[in-house]
Structure 1
Amino acid sequence: MDTLTFFNNVLSVTVIFAAFWYSCNDGDSLLLRERLQDVLQAMLEVEQQHSVGEVRIAVGYGACKDIFVQGSDLMGVMTPPQRTAHFNRIDSMKQLKEMYALFYTAGSAAERYVGNKTLFNEILAAAEAVPGSYSALGGNAPVMASRFALEGAKVLLAAKRSSYIMNKVHPSIIVRGDETESDEDIHLIIEYKAGESWGTYQAPRANRFIIHSDDNNPVLSTVEDFGGQLEAFKPNLFVVGGLQMMDNFPFPPGVQEERLQAVRDQMTSLSTSSRIHFEMASFTDTDLLTGLIQHVIPYADSLGMNEQELPNLYNMMKYGNVSLVSDFNPRVAVVLDQMREIFQQLRAAPEEGGRRRLTRLHLHTLAYQVIMVWKDSAWTNTLAAATKAALTANRHVCGKPEINLDNARMLMDEGFTLSKANGAGRVIFNTQQPVSCWIEDDGKVEVCIAPVLVCTSVRHTAGGGDNISAAGLVLQV
């Protein structure tokens, strides 16, 4: 064989191999696309079968102005710290960088109070100078209220009436609170993307780190003004949120508990015909979490939380300690077991002094949504609620009402076990019926789990949990 023939043969084999490799990969891509299309179509069909009725929803507490900036544009230009570390509050640039690096590498959302107001103002000025930074209406309450209003509910919001908030809030929302000229309630949302690097640190998923130096929202100044309006409104649902603003805030002795008791009194003032939902958030203050477990959580019918907040509440209720970071993509069996234990423990408490037995628990994660309800309760449409929550996750993070499969992927496995216990059943994923529901606990509890078409073209992650939780609630009221 001469040299030319040899090279021609090698080239032919190479071309054949390359053609085979590309055809296989094209085939895999086509199958993946078809799988995503089947899942999306099935979920859209469920969503389209359910509409929002004439529901009245009250939401508290507080509002703020959020400034959004990409972490790579703000933190990325700074020298990374030599270590990661946790602090209850931020008082120096060194603490900010070390704590940002901690949650950045864990892919976990976090929110912290900055006690050094000069530092906060300097960071805020730097963020606002970044091209592409922008502002939006912020706070759990107004974000959830906006989602409820967009879905067609009649909404009452407890928030101070600043010109910024009134210009940004959905026009159909009734806002009740003192008028103020102050625009000082500003929160800085530092967002980062999956796979992004900062020195030796790398983010495993897209998320956000929030800082603020807000002295108004932490004291829940709208609670008392909201009382009379709330009773007159006669809501079908009252949503309590924004209490993470109290986390590690420098309250005088006894004031934190007094404010939690004020929230509890507002919750117990409502008739049992008004259901109550409490939206969890990032808490690290042990005293505050203990106060929530004592004064707020037992008075709610429903709880909403993410993959970090679930183990935090679970560990606090079972072991009395706080979980700072957790698995950003936990196994289904693990979270189901934690949800069951919280559900059972909160249902076991006696209904006295205005306490309510938990009848609904919603977990929103990057990969899936889980809703657990007590069958003999007023919550309906669990399958549809889980479906809508999952679809809303993609729409919010991508910032578009239509779901583009070119910017989506699924992280759920082909199947999942129902518990870590031996002999637990297993659910096999079905693209034609992607939302799985089952009955357990002798027919007393219904559980539905829906896959999320995870957005790969991230517009923003902040407010994701609030939009997702609200979307699930609005179909179950």
Structure 2
Amino acid sequence: MALWRGSACAGFLALAVGCVFLLEPELPGTALRSLWSSLRLGPAPVPAGPLSPESRLAAAWDALIAQPARRWRRVAVGVNACVDVVISGVKLLQALGLSPGSGKDHAILQSRSDLEEAFVYFMGKGAAAERFFSDKETFHDIAQAASEFPGAQHYVGGNAALIGQRFAANTDLKVLLCGPIGPKLHELLDDNVFVPPESLQEEDEFHLILEYLAGEEWGPFKAPHANRFIFSHDLSNGAMNMLEVFVSSLEEFQPDLVVLSGLHMMEGQSKELQRKRLLEVVTGISDIPTGIPVHLELASMTNRELMSSIVQQQVFPAVASLGLNEQELLFLSQSASGPHASLSSWDGVPDVGMVSDILFWILKEHGRSNNRSSDLTRIHFHTLVYHILATVDGHWANQLAAVAAGARVAGTQACATETIDTNRVSLRAPQEFTTSHLESGSKIVLNPDKPVVEWHREGITFHFTPVLVCKDPIRTVGLGDAISAEGLFYSEAHPD
């Protein structure tokens, strides 16, 4: 019995040392060997090699991401919503009898030929894009073929609905969604999403999501990244028909955070209607009680006049927060004569210093300051391999956790996993970068153990973190919306 007890004790101690070794891999090797030798359990184990950069970064995120001191209780989201039909772009276009010609961008699609040219143009760049299809009958025929195509999937679509759906995953949050909600979309929505009766309509709005994989080829075109091309003939969202329903619902719902999206859907409308609706957007936002932040989620656009109007016609000063990606950021700067506007497009990964310059310019020109009564104090920028959160000092807290959480959800949602699977993601962010090209910025060297980098510039704080990019993404649609929602969920707005 004594012998059994001794063996068991030794076994338990060995197990304990093993646990210490796993939980504290940085413990000095001499300490581990000494402990092991004192137990007379044979030769000490050889320490494993260093963890991969992806594993170190994911672990560092988990340690950094903390809940805000003051959390949102009720979130209202509007006003664009639809059903996304997700399908392989190459397979659908082949089924429609199309073949790859010369890639060419079209601001508005008017034919199947325009669709083919625009799709391969963006596929060759590996860039996301969204376009309006003007011919109703042709779009209906394509949509029907796509919906019935083998392997086609139906999902909640539209920035507002996707953001609402992401917030609804937190069961302690009450979520209001206003938008054109048809029967199929209503069926797909989370039970935790409340839809006002006035938002329900008899038919769904369908958006076609043509996806392609990294390295996928069609004719002479090869996609450098996995991404998607979106198009629709969406009149309800295009006219922002649910704006009034959304604004009128806020008084009864009493949210402590409002998220607005769908302005990009107006590109197919007349200039007169665009100006009218933007004015009504600003009026509606101004009726929201002071102290309730409004986040504006931007999306792919081609109409510079509309983008300029969004910036200039008091929409930016009326909102507290913005969410956008690299295409929208550069297009915004080009439309409003901002920094690096002469750049026609990003050459590969967007330069961190240039992105930082544009974010700084937006907040300096249109954000809150001692001389300006703007509400704009926060921008969440996201691109495939990194994110930046820029905030005017004194208005937001917990932004280190917010940018890390936004980047983490990009990796989990793209790979369709609950947590980061370090075998399925890769660290592709620049290992070194400069924080500005317009002034003497700092040089940053990326450290996976400290993945959130912070710098300051004239009262504005920047938080940068890389993204762990999914090697074999399951779905690329809605990543930006999930990123913005997650970043907002972990953000804390200081009361005015």
- Name the TM tier (shorter chain): 0.7 to 0.9
Structure 1 vs Structure 2 CA RMSD? 2.4
Residue 315 (structure 1) aligns with:
334
1:405 to 422, 426, 435: 422
* SS of equivalent to 2:106: coil
Residue 271 of structure 1 and its aligned partner are, at CA, apart by 1.9
Query: Is residue 209 from structure 1 mapped to residue 233 from structure 2 by the alignment?
Result: no
Partner of 1:132: 151
Matches within 5 A, 1:84-99: 84-99=103-118
Which deviates more, 171-180 or 411-420?
171-180
Pair 1:405–1:219, CA change in 2 (3 A): same
- Is the CA contact 1:160–1:177 (under 8 Å) kept in the aligned structure 2? no
8 Å contact kept, 2:310–2:316: yes
- Report deviation, 1:88: 2.1
Whether 1:230 and 2:243 are equivalent positions in the alignment is: no
2:192 corresponds in structure 1 to 172
> Take 1:184 and 1:219, find their aligned partners in 2: how far apart are those partners?
15
Tell me which amino acid in the other structure corresponds to 2:364: Q
Is 1:271 aligned to residue 289 of structure 2?
Answer: yes
Deviations 1:355-401 (Å, cap 9, x if unpaired)?
62421011001001100111111x11010000000001011111222
Cα contact 1:279–1:304 (8 A) shared by 2: yes
Structure-to-structure mapping, 1:139-218, within 5 angstroms: 139-151=158-170, 152-176=172-196, 178=198, 180-218=200-238
Question: Which residues of structure 1 form unaligned runs of 5+?
Answer: 1-29
Distance 1:307 1:32 in 2: 34
Aligned match for 2:134, one of 99, 115, 131: 115
**TM superposition shift of 1:350:** 8.5
Equivalent residue number for residue 468 of structure 1 = 483
Partner of 2:474: 459
- Give 2:263's match in structure 1, choosing from 243, 248, 266: 243
Q: Is the 8 A contact 2:126 2:226 kept in 1?
A: yes
Shift in alpha-carbon separation, 1:256–1:244, aligned structure 2, 3 A: same
Preserved CA contact (<8 Å) 2:82 2:181? no
Q: Which runs of 5+ in 2 are unaligned?
A: 1-47
Helix, strand or coil: the match of 2:134?
coil
Q: Which of 66, 77, 82 does residue 59 from structure 1 map onto?
A: 77
**How far apart in 2 are the matches of 1:288 and 1:421?**
27
Q: Distance in 1 between matches of 2:316 and 2:57?
A: 35
The residue that corresponds to 2:17 in the other structure is none
Q: Does the CA-based 8 Å contact 1:108-1:325 persist in structure 2?
A: no
**Aligned pair partner of 2:273 in 217, 231, 255:** 255
Deviating more after overlay: 45-54 vs 461-470: 45-54
- Which position in structure 1 is the counterpart of 2:461? 446
Q: Distance in 2 between matches of 1:31 and 1:162?
A: 55
Aligned residue among 286, 299, 306 for 1:281:
299
Contact 2:180/2:204 (CA < 8 Å) preserved in 1?
Answer: no
Choose from 433, 444, 454 the match for 1:427: 444
Q: CA deviation at 1:411?
A: 0.8
Q: Which amino acid in 1 is paired with 2:403?
A: A
In the other structure, the counterpart of 1:12 is none
Q: Show structure 1 runs of 4+ deviating over 4 A.
A: 30-33, 48-52, 76-79, 319-325, 348-352
C-alpha change, 1:301 and 1:241, in structure 2 (3 Å) is same
Work out whether residues 234 and 274 of structure 1, in 8 Å CA contact, stay in contact via their aligned partners in 2.
no
Distance (whole Å) between structure 2 residues aligned to residue 346 and residue 196 of structure 1: 41
Question: Which deviations, in whole Å up to 9, do the C-alpha atoms of 1:233-268 show, x marking residues without a partner?
Answer: 232221110121111x143x6222111111111111
Determine helix, strand or coil for the equivalent of 1:230: helix
| Alignment-mate amino acid for residue 233 of structure 1 | F
Matches within 5 A, 1:270-419: 270-293=288-311, 294-318=313-337, 325-347=345-367, 356-377=374-395, 379-419=396-436
Instruction: Specify the code of the residue in structure 2 equivalent to 1:285.
Output: N
Q: Please, which moves more after superposition, 267-276 or 83-92?
A: 83-92
TM-score (norm 1): 0.86
Structure 1's 295 and 49: CA in aligned 2 closer, same or farther, altered over 3 A? closer
Q: Distance in 2 between matches of 1:241 and 1:229?
A: 16
Asked if residue 36 in structure 1 is aligned to residue 54 in structure 2, the reply is yes
TM-score by length of 2: 0.83
Q: Percent identity?
A: 31
Residue 41 of structure 2 corresponds to which residue in structure 1? none
* C-alpha distance in 2 between matches for 1:288 and 1:177: 31
Partner of 1:82: 101
Q: Residues 239 and 145 (structure 1 numbering): CA distance in 2 closer, same or farther, change over 3 Å? A: same
Whether the aligned pair in 2 keeps the contact of 1:158 and 1:177 (CA below 8 Å) is no
Per the TM alignment, residue 176 of structure 1 is displaced from its structure 2 partner at its CA by 2.3
Q: Secondary structure at the match of 2:155?
A: strand
Change (3 A) 1:160 1:123: closer
Decide whether the 8 Å contact of 1:84 with 1:98 is kept in 2. yes
Residue deviations 1:439-474, cap 9 Å, x none? Answer: 332xx2221111100011111111110000110011
1:13 matched residue in structure 2: none
Distance 1:184 1:157 in 2: 15
Select between 220-229 and 335-344 the one with higher mean Cα deviation. Answer: 220-229
Contact between 2:167 and 2:175, CA under 8 Å: does it hold in 1?
A: yes
CA distance in 2, matches of 1:435, 1:336: 15
CA gap 1:124/1:33 in 2 versus in 1, 3 angstroms: farther
SS of residue paired to 1:420 = coil
- AA aligned opposite 1:111: E
